[in-house]
Amino acid sequence: MSQDLFDFVAEQLEQFTALDRLESRGTLRIALKRAGLASRSVDRKQFCVILDSVVPSELESRGVADARAVCAALIGRIEGEPADRWRASHDVDEIFDRLAGG
Amino acid sequence: MLDGAWIGQLTAALVYLIVGMRLARLASSTRERPERLLSNLFLFTAVSYFLYLVPLIIAIEALWTPFNFAGRVAYIPAPIYIALFTRDVFRSGSRVSTALIAATAGLLVVGVTGSAIRGDWEGFSLDDSFFWLEWVGYTLPFAWAGLEAFAQYRSSLRRRRLGLCPQIVCNRLLLWASFGAIQVVISFVALRMYADFATENAFSGILDRLAGVLELISIALIWLVFFPPRFYRRKMSDSEAADRPAEEA
């Protein structure tokens, strides 16, 4: 489930940095919001994109050293998990994409 | 309704019928609920519109009241289906949304039944409290759909900048939001028309034509959402391509 993916990434972020649980979850939520995504529906591909493009600046602003390397490691952790570990939840974009395909 | 002014409604009925059938076919192949809900929305709307139009097209005044009432009854499921779609797509698992859907159904059923019991079969009496229950019941779900789609459109712009949402999907969310907004405007225009009918025993020509134009705009929006023509798809992909160098720079 997508919430599990969010929890998984937040836990990994805690391990890689000095951020506590609240800070790591808050940082990720802010990054997701900046990217127009929600923690309950984000999928692994989307998470990897924001870890590459949005999260580094959020971590830097919180004083995390070597934020890019941390994010690269997080992407590696996500990609190292089985593809079916997190079932994609319903996605608004996918639904609206599909509706024109009848 | 004036001579010729019903053409907008007839065109809308035909388009909604075609869109409903196409979505039913899509739903039978994908087995997904959102397309099934929208298919039902458009099919019930089309049936309702046809029922309203029958006495106008064959010009038999005696049929006006029974067919108007049948049109009102046939329309009851439509706002419920759009509310279900909105909850499933934008507010999955929300209890407040489920309560809103139940309230919508209640308002529509009580509104139509209550006004019929009081003898207002056409549902034109603004001084009858049941009229207002029905009016809120069919206006609120479209307002909700429009607001949710607009909020999602705004966040889709952020996703688009990261390459996570295609331009055409972003635009489709805006079109759907606009469709919801126009349905709300049509509801307000209808209010004014009913008020005029109560005093003049006739619909205002200007408002009748305005309602027709709004229906035509709705049709255009629905057509772009569900039958995106080649020129529109090209425009969307051109716009996406034009943004790419700027994003990469």
Instruction: Tell me the per-residue pLDDT of B182-220, one tens digit each, with 9 for 90 and over.
Output: 999 999 999 998 888 878 777 778 888 888 889 899 999
* Cα–Cα distance, B237 to B249 (Å, whole number): 19
Angle formed by the axes of helices B33-57 and B7-30, to 10°? 150
**How confident is the model over B63-100, as pLDDT tens digits?**
889 999 999 999 999 999 999 999 999 998 889 999 99
Reply yes or no on whether the pLDDT at B233 is more than 90: yes
Output A41 or A79, whichever has higher pLDDT: A79
Q: Is B141 exposed, middle or buried (0-12, 13-18, 19+ CB in 10 A)?
A: buried
SS (H, E, C) chain B: CCCCCCHHHHHHHHHHHHHHHHHHHHHHHHCCHHHHHHHHHHHHHHHHHHHHHHHHHCCCHHHHHHHHHHHHHHHCHHHHHHHHHHHHHHCCCCHHHHHHHHHHHHHHHHHHHHHHHCCCCCCCCCCCHHHHHHHHHHHHHHHHHHHHHHHHHHHHHHHHHCCCCCHHHHHHHHHHHHHHHHHHHHHHHHHHHHHHHHHHCCCCHHHHHHHHHHHHHHHHHHHHHHCCCHHHHHHHHHHHHHHHHHHHC
Output A87 or A21, whichever has higher pLDDT: A21
Determine the pLDDT at residue B246: 56
Q: How far is B92 from chain A (nearest CA, A)?
A: 9
Q: Which segment of A3-12, B43-52, B141-150 scores lowest on mean pLDDT?
A: A3-12
Q: Is A50 touching B (CB cutoff 8 A)?
A: yes
Q: Do A35 and B89 touch (CB under 8 A)?
A: no
Find the CB nearest B159 among A37, A90, A97: A37
Percent of chain A with pLDDT over 90: 75
Question: Considering the entire predicted model, what is its pTM?
Answer: 0.89
Residue of A nearest to B170 (CA): A93
* Cα–Cα distance, B53 to B162 (Å, whole number): 48
Confidence of residue B245 (pLDDT cuts 50, 70, 90): low
Reply yes or no on whether the pLDDT at A102 is more than 80: no
Reply yes or no on whether the pLDDT at B11 is more than 60: yes
Pick among B162, B172, B178, B224 to test the A interface (most A CBs inside 10 A): B162
> Is the distance from CB of B141 to CB of B79 less than 8 angstroms?
yes
Find the CB nearest A93 among B25, B30, B165: B165
**How confident is the model over B138-184, as pLDDT tens digits?**
999 999 999 999 999 999 999 999 999 999 999 999 999 999 999 99
Structure tokens that stand for B77 in this block: 């499921």
Q: For residue A12, which of A48, A61, A49 has the smallest C-alpha distance?
A: A48
Determine the pLDDT at residue B208: 85
> Per-residue pLDDT averaged across A70-97, rounded?
87
Confidence of residue B122 (pLDDT cuts 50, 70, 90): confident
User: Which residues of B fall within a CB distance of 8 Å from A49?
Assistant: 162-164
Helix and strand counts by DSSP (H, E) for chain A: 6, 0
Q: How far is CA B208 from CA B9, B46, B52, in A?
A: 11, 19, 14
Determine the pLDDT at residue B247: 55
Q: Is A88 touching B (CB cutoff 8 A)?
A: no
Q: Which residue has the tokens 């409903």?
A: B20
* Rg of the Cα atoms in chain B: 19
Determine the pLDDT at residue B212: 85
* Cα–Cα distance, A61 to A27 (Å, whole number): 10
Confidence of residue A1 (pLDDT cuts 50, 70, 90): very low
Please name the amino acid found at residue B82: I
Percent of chain B with pLDDT over 70: 96
**How confident is the model over A43-59, as pLDDT tens digits?**
899 999 999 999 999 99
Q: For residue A81, which of A5, A27, A30, A25 has the smallest C-alpha distance?
A: A5
Q: For residue B154, which of A37, A30, A98 has the smallest C-alpha distance?
A: A37
Determine the pLDDT at residue A41: 84
Pick among A96, A97, A98 to test the B interface (most B CBs inside 10 A): A96
A83 three-class SS: coil
Q: Do B164 and A37 touch (CB under 8 A)?
A: yes
Determine the pLDDT at residue B199: 82
Reply yes or no on whether the pLDDT at A3 is more than 90: no
* Cα–Cα distance, B125 to B132 (Å, whole number): 9
Determine the pLDDT at residue B3: 53
Find the CB nearest B89 among A50, A54, A95: A95
Structure tokens that stand for B79 in this block: 């706002």
